């Protein structure tokens, strides 16, 4: 697993921070507001299109491309892993349950107990809103492990260990507990915060070719310290 030479500056992926790149994978930090991949309704610029241009080094005839392994909501910032071959994508997705995914989030209110696991079956209605159901035939089992790291100003900073990866899982689970994520207008309230306080902080997984265990971590967003004050970095 050797790092590869980066393309010229003009082909660097604008708006994304590349944390790691080799012949098989790219790991980037996605900012809030950028889609992971386009949808039928939204064809705007995405992580997928930006990185496809990047690996083609300005040659539209190049057969190089990237493959989406997982997604982050448009409003969520943090680490995304993409594959550079279909075989690498299949391997990473096949071992996704073994991948350790940690998030930081700030929610309204104080939680009791201070740590635990939220479990429900998540389904989606015709309005594209995700909700919990007791019927396993309607939804998919979803597990969100949380731990309170700090409480301040009526808010709580949580570390989330994502045990399953369903659409809007963290946001829905916390909202249904009465503790919506700050800035979440879909599942929470208009609290005056323009940015969703949800960040994919770290990830650990097995490299699809070398078999080495890789770990990546990002800085805590400035928004978080503005909301709850100085934060001591949690250990992954």
Just list the catalytic residues: 73
Long-range contacts formed by 87-90: CB under 8 A, 24+ apart: 87/208, 88/24, 88/25, 88/208, 88/209
Q: Are strands 77-83 and 198-206 parallel, antiparallel or unpaired?
A: parallel
Could you tell me how many residues make up the chain? 236
Contact between 196 and 221 under an 8 Å Cβ cutoff? The reply is: no
Q: Where are the alpha helices (DSSP H) in 159-236?
A: 169-176, 222-228
| Strand, coil or helix: 31 | coil
- Distance of alpha carbon 179 from alpha carbon 186, whole angstroms: 13
Closest CA to 24 of 211, 201, 200: 211
Whether omega for the bond prior to residue 113 falls within 30 degrees of 0, making it cis, is: yes
Would you give the distance in Å from CA 12 to the centre of its chain? 22
Where are any strands of DSSP class E within the chain?
A: 17-21, 25-30, 67-68, 77-83, 100-108, 115-124, 130-133, 140-152, 155-162, 198-206, 213-217
């Amino acid at each position: 697993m050797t790092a590869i030479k980066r393309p010229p500056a003009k082909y660097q992926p604008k708006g994304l921070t590349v944390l790691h790149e080799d012949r098989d994978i790219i790991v980037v930090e996605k900012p809030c507001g950028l889609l992971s991949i386009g949808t039928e309704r939204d064809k705007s610029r995405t992580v997928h299109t930006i990185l496809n241009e990047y690996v083609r080094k300005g040659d539209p005839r190049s057969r190089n491309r990237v493959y989406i392994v997982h997604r982050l909501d448009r409003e969520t910032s943090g680490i995304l892993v993409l594959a550079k071959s279909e075989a690498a994508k299949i391997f990473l997705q096949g071992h996704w349950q073994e991948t350790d995914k940690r998030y930081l989030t700030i929610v309204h209110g104080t939680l009791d107990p201070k740590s635990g696991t939220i479990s429900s079956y998540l389904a989606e209605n015709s309005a594209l809103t995700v909700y919990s159901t007791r019927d396993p035939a309607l939804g998919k089992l979803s597990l969100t492990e949380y731990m309170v790291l700090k409480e301040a100003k009526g808010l709580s900073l949580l570390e989330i260990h994502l045990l399953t990866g369903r659409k809007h899982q963290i946001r829905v689970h916390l909202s249904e507990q009465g503790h919506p994520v700050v800035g979440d207008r879909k599942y929470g309230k208009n609290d005056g915060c323009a940015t969703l306080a949800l960040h994919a902080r770290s990830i650990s997984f097995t490299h699809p070719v070398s078999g080495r265990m890789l770990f990546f971590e990002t800085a805590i967003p400035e928004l978080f310290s503005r909301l709850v004050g100085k934060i001591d970095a949690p250990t992954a």
